[in-house]
Amino acid sequence: MSELISLAGELDAGDALARVRDRFVLDDVVYLDGNSLGALPAGVPARVADVVARQWGELRIRSWEESGWWTAPERIGDRIAPLVGAAAGQVVVGDSTSVNVFKALVAAVRMARGDAEGDSRGAARDEILVDATTFPTDGYLAESAARLTGCTLRPLAPADVPGALGPRTAAVLLNHVDYRTGRLHDLPGLTAAVHAAGGYAVWDLCHSAGALPVGLDEHGVDLAVGCTYKYLNGGPGSPAYLYVRRGLQDRFDSPLPGWNSHAEPFGMRPEYAPAPGAVRGRVGTPDILSMLALEAALEVWDGVGIEAVRAKSLALTDFFLRCVEEYVPEGRVESLTPAAHAERGSQVALRCDDAGDVMKRLVARGVVGDFRAPDVLRFGFTPLYTGFAEVERAARVLGETLG
């Protein structure tokens, strides 16, 4: 035990991101649930107070122009863009992840069908492939999108996707990181395979953005969505985002056209004409209070590179697994998270027979992770504020709880 405690101290002393911890509101609880809800950035309360008291309370409707409310979805999108490997002008913030998944998936099918119409071979694009292990909502939305577009839906394990692709493939919806196990899927390889088959790749980045490099532009991803309340620390229910690759923006045909995505939003014309660029991913009036809270939260990323975050994430999860092996009685837990760095996100999932009760006991002792039915303990590691001494303590308390 003393060896691991000493090692944790050495690792914390050499942590280049330790300085960022002060940008958050934290206490003596070991918080390992940032993969569900990130901690509160210290600058957010004052910013929200200003938005409510001055921008809304005093300026009122003038704030749409004078406080920049109207352009917030694109402005904050450009702030997120570097964190997912995208150039400016391709990310727009707004709506929920679910709504953006629906927009992206239906638009992908429509683009694939547009390609097919110009194909002299008459290729039919009438099939959607979806990650069978996905977060349930993505599956529900994929099923609804398939019914709406007349497509067949094929749920598959991500590893089986390449072998299932073909001339009927319109779109493929995949998770970058599995929410249960923390497995990191091969975004570059799977995207290339989808493109080789003539389909469009839609990626859900909820469990990767802000924890590791994504490389949307580099790997030619077509469409991507993600939430902002996990590793991006935007707050409960903070708005999601939609990425539309620049080369596809003039063809992006959203199934949810709204006045905010109209080329002339205040023209009040009965005919819909989409705005140019990623702005056509907007729908209705932006949720300003939560959106501007998110903008303030993203300031914690000033001077922080995503590569440094990834390096610390891997070091944290490696150290946690080492401590678990040392402290937890043999046979009591089983790691579901891949050992290989290339296949690991920023969480560790442990299978445990009485996981729900165990997590309650951990929380009571000041170690907060979460439980996923039926038997998974999840621990999310947010490199911006998680330290190695906390990791050692969490594993030690887990071992004592299970022992």
CATH class of segment(s) 53-301? alpha beta
Q: What share of the chain is helix, strand, coil (3-state, %, to 5)?
A: 45, 15, 40
The pLDDT value given to residue 117? 73
For the stretch 79-138, pLDDT in tens is 999 999 999 999 999 999 999 999 999 999 999 999 877 664 446 899 999 999 999 999
- Is 179 annotated in the active site? no
Q: Domain boundaries in the chain?
A: 2-17+304-402, 53-301
Looking at the whole model, is its pTM more than 0.95?
yes
Active-site residue, selected from the candidate residues 229, 319, 371, 388: 229
The pLDDT value given to residue 375? 97
- Is 135 annotated in the active site? yes
Q: Are 185 and 210 in contact (CB under 8 A)?
A: no
Active-site residue, selected from the candidate residues 15, 131, 178, 204: 204
The pLDDT value given to residue 381? 98
Checking DSSP bridges between strand 241-244 and strand 91-93, what pairing results, if any? antiparallel
Q: Phi then psi for 175, rounded to 5 degrees?
A: -95, 135
Q: Are 173 and 86 in contact (CB under 8 A)?
A: no
Active-site residue, selected from the candidate residues 282, 378, 393, 396: 378
- Is 204 annotated in the active site? yes
- Is 229 annotated in the active site? yes
> What is 2-17+304-402's CATH number?
3.90.1150.10
Active-site residue, selected from the candidate residues 23, 110, 125, 230: 230
* Whole-number Cα distances in Å, 57 to 11, 30, 61, 282: 47, 38, 10, 26
The pLDDT value given to residue 289? 98
The pLDDT value given to residue 2? 85
- Is 253 annotated in the active site? no
The pLDDT value given to residue 214? 98
Active-site residue, selected from the candidate residues 102, 135, 231, 371: 135
Residues of the chain with pLDDT under 50: 120-122
With vertex at residue 265, the alpha carbon angle to CA 259 and CA 267, rounded to the nearest 5 degrees, is 120
